[in-house]
Amino acid sequence: MKRKTALPELLAPAGSFDALVAAVNAGADAVYFGGSAFNARAFAKNLGVDELSSALAYAHIHGVKAYITLNTLIFDKEAEDFINYAKFIANIGVDAAIVADMGAVSLLRKYVPELALHGSTQMSAHSADGVNELATLGLDRVVLARELSLENIRLSTERSAAETEMFIHGALCVSHSGQCLFSSVVGGRSGNRGECAQACRLPYNGKYPLSLRDLSLSDHITEIIDSGVSSLKIEGRMKSPEYVYGVTEIYRRLLDEKRNATGAENLRLAEIFSRSGFTDVYFCAKHTAPMTGVRTEDEKRISGSLSIADTEQRRVPITAKAYFSEGEPSRLSLSLGDKSVTVTGDAPQAAQNAPLTHGALSERLAKTGNTPFVLDKNGIEITLNGNINLAPSQINALRRRATDALTELFSPKPAEAERIAVQRIKSTDVPSFRSALFFNVEVFNGIRGKGFFDFTFIPLFELENAKEIPSGVYIPPVVTDSERATVLSEMKKARAAGVVYALCGNIGHFALARESGLKIFGDFRLNITNTQSAELYRSLGAEHLILSPELSLPQLRDIGSGAAITYGRIPLMLLERCFMRENGGCDRCGRIEFTDRMGVKFPLIREYPHRNILLNSKITYMGDRRDALKKYGVSGEHFIFTTENVRTAESAVESYKNGEPIDGVRRIKQ
C-alpha cells in the first residue's frame, strides 16, 4: 500500500521523557516508546504508568503521534496482564501499539479492538505475502525486515494491503529480527522478550565478525520517498536525548527538502554515533561490501563531547475566553486547534473595594506555569460585568482546572476499569508425532532410521538429490518478493513429485504453500509461545506446529499441543549475508565455526541462496528424558540434523530410541 501523503512519516525513538521532548523539538512526526512491561527494550528507561499519560499528552499537544511498544513474545500465564495493560494504553489515547506476537494480535483483536496495531520488525515480514497475511489479521502497518533491498522494499510496498514502515538509521541486528535465539538459548536472556545480551558484539575467532556497523540511509532519501513507504523509523530507544535530537533533526531537514545528505551532514551523523562508520549494504543489495564494525575509542570520545540535545519543554500557544459576572459561576474556555474545553469556578461577588480589572485578570489567567501551554495575556477575551471581585486563589483554581481539562483531551485519564478476564482457550487436540528436518540430503538418503519419524523434511532445493520422496520440504526462512517466483516454482514441482507438506517458518510462506497445493507444517521460527498464537496459526491452515525452543516444559504444557525440538543443534541466528565466504572462503562452505572467548565453537551452515545459519554449540537432547516429556504432555518431538554425517545421525537416533544419555547436551528446562 503506497502512502497517500507527499512525505513519509518520520518516526523517532523515545526511551525516556527527555528523549521524547528532544524528538518532538527536532521535528519528528511520531514517536515510539515502551511502557513498564511487554516491550523489546527491557533495559531502556521506558516510561512508568504515571509517565505514559504525560508523554502521550506532550506528544499530542505538539501534533505528534505516539506509538507504544508491546513487541515481546508472551506466555500463557501473562495473557491477562498483557491484555489489561493494553486496555489501559488504549484508554489513555495511544495512536497505535507495536506488536510482535501472533497470540497478542489475536488477544488484542478480541478484547481491545479499538487499538490500532503495527507489526514489529520482530515479526520478520520480508515480503508482500507476509505483510498481507498480517493485514488480514487486522494490522494497519507492518515494519519491513531491515535486510531488504530497495527493490524488495518497493515490491512489498506496492503489493501490500497495509502500510509499510522501514528503518533508516541506527543499530543493526546481525540476525534477522525475531530470528535470533543466541542470547536466549545460550545466555538465558531472551532477545524476543526484550533482554538481549548482544552476543553479536562479542569477539569470535579473535575478531568481531558479527558486529555490524550502524545503518544510515541518509544518502538515499530521494529513493526512499519515491518507494511509497509510509513511515521511516530511527532506531534508538536505548540512546541518549542528544542522539535522538541530532539524528532526527538531520532527517527532518532531508525529508522537508527532499534531498540526500551532504558530506557535512553525514559527518555530523557519524559524530553523534557510529560503529567504524555506517552501512547501506542491504538497501543497495551489495552483500559483498564491508559492513562489520565496532565502536572505537575515538568515536566514543567524540560522541561524549557533544551537547546538542534540545530538551526544553516548549509550550504551545492557546487561546482563551473568560466570563465573570456577579452571582454567576465564573467560566474559562481554552482552545488549541480544534480542541476546546470550558470549565466553571466560583461565582464573583460585589466588590467592597478594588474590583477586578481586565488587566489584573489577564495577568493571572496567563500564568500557565509548568503546563504545556502558553497564553498571551493580551489575547484573552474577557467579559467582565460590573464591579465584582474574586479571590486570586479562586482565579488560579479556575485556570488550573481549565489547563488540566485541556491536557486531558490530548491524553485522557482512564477511569478505574474493571479488570478484563481473559478466557482460556483449549488447544486443538492433535495426535502426537515425531518429525525430522535433514539439512544434509546425503544424511536423509543414507540414514536407516527414517521409519522412526512420522514426518521427514529436506530443503526445498535439495529435492532433486533425494533418493526417496520425503513427507515435506523445508521452505527457506526468507523468501523476498524478488525470490518468490523461483521458490514457488520449486514448491509446485515438489507437490507434483508427491511431497505433501511445506515446513513454513514465516507467515508469508502460508500463501506460497496454499498456491502450490502443499499442506502447512509450522516450523519453530513462527515463535509460538502461547496457546492463542498456536490456535491462530491453525486457523490459517497449519496442520502441525513446532513450538518455540525458548519454552520450558511447563510452558509447553500450558500450550498443550505442538512439538518441541527434542534433538539437534538449534539455529541461533539467521544471517542475511554469507559470513562463511567472508571468514573462510567459498571452498570451506559448511566447514566454518565461530569460536568465542571461552573456546566454544558455533558451526555455520548455508541457507538459500547464500544466507547463513549460526548453530548452537550444544545439541539439544531429550532422549533420556522422555518421561519428563510425557509428564508435561509434550505431544510432538522434532529432530534437526545439521552437522551430522550418516553415522552420527544413526547413532543419535539409536540413542534416542533406547533412552540413552549423550554427553555435553542442552536440555529443555523444567
Q: How confident is the model at residue 354 (pLDDT cuts 50, 70, 90)?
A: confident
C-alpha closest to that of 569 among 467, 664, 446, 658: 664
355: Cα separation from own chain's centroid: 61
pLDDT for residue 45 is more than 70: no
Residue 644 is classified by DSSP as -
**Helix (H/G/I), strand (E/B), else coil: 385:** strand
Q: Sheet with 571-575: list strands edge to edge.
A: 571-575, 611-615, 601-607, 592-595
Task: Enter the pTM of the model.
Answer: 0.95
Read off the pLDDT of each residue in 251-270 and give the average, rounded to a whole number. Answer: 97
Q: How confident is the model at residue 210 (pLDDT cuts 50, 70, 90)?
A: very high
Please state, as a whole number, how many other Cβ atoms lie within 10 Å of the Cβ of residue 8: 24
Q: Taking the domain 433-570+616-658, which CATH number applies?
A: 3.20.20.380
pLDDT score for 184: 96
pLDDT of residue 40: 54
Residue 299 has which C-alpha cell? 568515536
Q: What is the mean predicted confidence (pLDDT) over 352-367?
A: 93
For residue 405, pLDDT over 60 is answered with yes
Radius of gyration over every alpha carbon of the chain, rounded to an integer in angstroms? 29
pLDDT-based confidence at residue 216 (cuts at 50, 70, 90): very high
pLDDT tens for each residue of 298-343: 999 988 887 777 888 899 999 999 999 999 999 999 999 999 999 9
pLDDT surpassing 90 at residue 262: yes
**What is the total residue count of the chain?**
670
β-strands 542-545, 373-375 pairing: unpaired
* Shared fold status for 9-172+213-304 and 433-570+616-658: yes
Query: How many angstroms separate the Cα of 491 from the Cα of each of 401, 466, 502, 509, 542?
Result: 66, 15, 8, 11, 17
Residues 9-172+213-304: name the CATH superfamily. Answer: Aldolase class I (3.20.20.70)
Domain extents in the chain:
9-172+213-304, 316-410, 433-570+616-658
| Amino acid type, 447 | I
Q: What is the pLDDT of residues 121-137, one digit of tens each?
A: 999 999 999 999 999 99
What gap in Å lies between CA 313 and CA 311, rounded to an integer? 6
- Cα gap 95→105, rounded to integer Å: 16
In the chain, the amino acid numbered 159 is R
